[in-house]
A and B are shown apart, each in its own frame.
Chain A
Amino acid sequence: MVGITAYGAYIPRLRLNRQAVYDANKWFAPGLRGQAKGERSMANWDEDSITMAVEASRDCLNGDGAEGTFDALFFASTTHPFKDRQNAGVISTALHREDLSVADFAGSQKCATTALISALDAAKNGRTVLVAAADRRQAKVASTNEMQYGDGAAAVLVGGKDAIANFLGAHSVSKDFVDHFRGDESETDYTWEERWIRDEGYAKIVPPAIKAALAKLNLKGSDIAHFVMPALMAAVPKQMAKMCGVAETAVRDSLAANLGDTGAAHAVMMLAHALEDAKAGEKIMVVAFGQGVDVLVFEATAALAKLSKRNGVTGALARRKEEKNYMKFLAFQDLLPIDKGMRAEFDKKTALSVLWRKRDMLYGLIGGKCRVCGTVQFPKSQVCVNPNCHAIDSQDDHAMAGLEASIMSFTADSLTYSPDPPAYYGMITFPEGGRFMADFTDSDKEQVKVGAKMRMMFRVRDNDTMRGGFKRYFWKAAPV
């Protein structure tokens, strides 16, 4: 039987305090007062849907051991960094995998569940699919969406054996019900009246789909132990559950209070959260709404309890730093025409031919290990770096991304241009060998010390806005 074999999640460390957002905007939008509680996740300036999906995928694959276990990768998002460049292919390259098929799913808030259904179908044909979903949506300044949205990513691995949750079945409908849209000429959503969305959209489209799914699977609403349904309106999931005979206690927390709605990723995020709690035999229903609805039903298995430890949603939420500076949020969202200075003007043109030749090094963080002396080094080079070796053409690939490093020397640089000054960087060394001068990210002054342990994270280096936005990715070091 096919099903989910692993899950993972990633949430940016920063949490924007909603009271701070309200305090900045109440002169203009006093009606936001009701939203001014809790916090929402906020991507760092160097994070986008690709980088977050890489981290969620790494959590799902739980280290380098599992990286070879899938043969397809689907990436769902409404904020793919590239319109025409395979976004999922960037993720697979960062995971050091090329011998697989990849696809981007987009265009709707339910695109991740659609990707998941496709993955489950593929699993029936013997394939193993990694489904990653991420969103980093912009919202208009002082809008309700700005309060509601969060940034994040989740991933599930789908396959035919050792499932932690068996797939029982699914039901989908497509209805061009435009509750909101983001047109080609906009970065933000345009949303219709909530009451209409609730009464004509959710109430008339979702219950029939749920009931059809239950009927197909010969289940009753009361059989559902975990009802996963993202919705910006807090009352809607409970209302839908009630209309279908699902117990109110089964309705999963939408994580609105301290995460926010992570868009296309949110159904998978809430599913991952449910898998953290589910007991063997419990049924999980996932409902995703977006110009139609996908309903999926899973049943947790005994294998769930034996799944190796991972961050998951709870772990990702625990890695947290409060941010009360709304101006910083606007700057990170590129909504503030801030004076970056001339050092921000340096040309960031990428030689695509170099990127292609060096993709293992740059995206995979693949170093070399010398067969003659055993020295691990980064980057991999033709002549061994060990002063007592210098063997030629002696190195095998050595994956560094999963290794812990420590800080040998560092600085906080106020001269270089950084969207979040000062720029922290320093020489990091890997205990097995290898070192390089690395940018640090998600770092606070008190965390950056000689000897501090760091982990590698896939991040945006910079963005070539002169050429329409070419994001340049590389690995940075973040405190463990």
Chain B
Amino acid sequence: MAKGIKDKVAILGMGCSKFGERWDSGAEELMLEAFKECIGDAGIDTKQLQAAWFSTAIDEVHVGKSGIPLSTTLRLPNIPVTHVENMCASGTEAFRGACYAVASGAVDFALALGVEKLKDTGYGGLPGGRGGPLQALWSANGTAPGNFAQLATAYMTAHNVGYDDLKKAIGHVSWKSHQNGAKNSKAHLQKAVDMDTILNAPMISSPLGLFDCCGVSDGAAAAIVTTPEIAKSLGKHDIVSVKALQLSVSNGSESGHNSWDGSYFHTTRIASKKAYDEAGIKNPRQEISMFEVHDCFSVTELVTMEDLHISETGKGWKDVLDGFYDADGKIPCQIDGGLKCFGHPIGASGLRMIYEMYLQMQGRAGERQRKEEPIFGLTHNLGGFPQRNVCAISIVGKYGA
């Protein structure tokens, strides 16, 4: 019986571009910006890379299909480059591909690089209309905020939470991420905002207001992975290793079967349990040091903390209001600003989360460094909509822990 890849793969180096409205850069410049930091951190030469995984989710508005854009931009030595797309989970998927290649013994050094260049469309929000010819004929005329807003209405109904309580809780989620983003020089949004501004912002898709929605950002992030043995042989210490990589994908039951009430993420519940098993974590609320979760919308983060089995179902909003997930709380969530403020260049986001964990584990997070030494960090992506999604989870931590 397969036991997973715990401690079979070490992160050798990571890099991340500045996220934001990068009017100065195309996808190629962003890729190189992340890669330069990453390869420098790894301390190896580009020629030593043996395989690469390249993630973008909306490539039709920037680089287009295939692995060629990455290979060409970095002048990779004609190695295999696989283009992966799995919506917002794409970045974690690239990382999974690279890790599995190393864990299998197929290669010694693998690269995962994700990028998204979204600000060449001419309008705000994510590009729409990419569901294929049948979906175009029947799916609701919706947007991402409109679909995630329904998580909020269903959550309020399922747990009898009042509108004002929920607005305050999801407002606090965003308030906290703005506090954290203000300490991150690579973040898209680096300004703290007060609760009044958040609660009185224009409505985007009821009940989600402007500050309940994450930024649409340009950016890239990269990781080079190898085995812990090779990392040690290269003189690395304080090694951060991969504890678990899990994915769960909807099979249509949430969107088509009346057993789901709309108030939670079915896939997150499954993927997180598998990830804890793979990492050997028995009590995640006690053992996980920090989280980077997919706060595409404030309510997504709130509900995710329940589906990761950290907050009790229906009570997550109380933990949020208690400051449990604040930077100085029991378990910081989005200590780097999250999607909300660090930004959300889709194909890069999963790698950006791991990048933050990597920095925190090595004590390199600067002004936002968690004082209590982190042991395990969990990152989480959710691609798609509450009723139809891809959930990706990674757990990284101190090698041997």
Residues of A within 8 A of B (CB): 341-343, 346-348, 350-351, 354-355, 358, 361-362, 375, 377-379, 381, 385-387, 408-418, 422-423, 425-427, 429, 433-439, 450, 461-462, 472, 474
Contact = CB atoms under 8 A, between A and B. Distances in A.
Contact of A435 (B122, B136, B145, B255): B255
A362 to B, nearest CB: 5
B71 interface: no
Contacts of B208: 411
B2 interface: no
B140 interface: yes
B136 to A, nearest CB: 7
* B125, B146, B203, B259: most-surrounded residue (chain A CB, <10 A): B146
A387 B259 contact: yes
B141 A425 contact: yes
A425 B142 contact: yes
B256 A425 contact: no
A450 to B, nearest CB: 5
B128 A450 contact: no
Contact of A354 (B122, B134, B153, B154): B134
Given A408-B154, A416-B128, A439 B140 contact: yes
A472 B143 CA distance: 19
Interface residues of B, number: 42
Given A354-B137, A408-B262, A416 B150 contact: no
Contacts, number: 139
A51 to B, nearest CB: 15
B257 interface: yes
B290 interface: no
Contacts of B138: 361-362, 379, 436, 461, 474
Interface string B129-163: 10001101111111101110111011001000000
8 contacts: A341-B123, A342-B123, A378-B256, A410-B153, A411-B142, A427-B262, A427-B387, A433-B258
B252 interface: yes
B253 A385 contact: yes
B137 A439 contact: no
B206 interface: yes
Contacts of B252: 381, 385
B387 A437 contact: yes
A139 to B, nearest CB: 28
Contacts of B145: 411, 413, 415
Contacts of B256: 377-378, 381, 385, 434-436
Given A423-B142, A427-B387, A437 B255 contact: yes
A438 B387 CA distance: 13
Q: Which of B151, B256, B262 has the most CB of A within 10 A?
A: B256
Given A346-B128, A347-B129, A474-B137, A426 B253 contact: no
A474 B141 CA distance: 12
Contacts of A474: 137-138
Contacts of B153: 409-411, 426, 450
A411 B255 contact: no
Nearest to B127: A346
Given A350-B136, A411-B205, A425-B146, A377 B141 contact: no
Interface string B197-241: 000001111101000000000000000000000000000000000
Given A413-B141, A423-B141, 17 more contacts: A347-B129, A358-B137, A377-B256, A385-B253, A411-B145, A411-B150, A411-B208, A414-B203, A414-B204, A415-B143, A422-B205, A427-B150, A427-B255, A435-B257, A437-B140, A461-B137, A472-B137
B146 A416 contact: yes
B31 to A, nearest CB: 27
B127 to A, nearest CB: 9
Contacts of B387: 427, 437
A422 B140 CA distance: 13
Nearest to A385: B256
B120 interface: no
Given A411-B149, A411-B150, A414-B204, A385 B134 contact: no
B267 to A, nearest CB: 13
Contacts of B154: 408-409, 427, 450
Contacts of A411: 142, 145-147, 149-150, 153, 205-206, 208
Given A362-B138, A415-B145, A387 B257 contact: yes
A377 B128 CA distance: 27
B257 A385 contact: yes
Nearest to A351: B133
A410 B125 CA distance: 20
A199 B125 CA distance: 62
- Interface centre among A351, A416, A433, by most chain B C-beta atoms within 10 angstroms, is A416
Nearest to B121: A342
Contacts of A362: 137-138
A55 B141 CA distance: 22
B205 A437 contact: no
Given A377-B257, A387-B257, A433-B258, A413 B142 contact: yes
Contacts of A408: 154, 261-262
B146 A423 contact: yes
Contact of A437 (B147, B151, B157, B261): B147
Contacts of A377: 256-257
Instruction: Give the one of B149, B153, B258 with max A CB within 10 A.
Output: B258
Nearest to A409: B150
B216 to A, nearest CB: 11
B339 to A, nearest CB: 17
The 5 closest A-B pairs by CB, nearest first: A413-B146, A351-B133, A409-B150, A411-B149, A346-B129
Nearest to B144: A415
Contact of A343 (B123, B150, B157, B204): B123
A410 B208 CA distance: 12
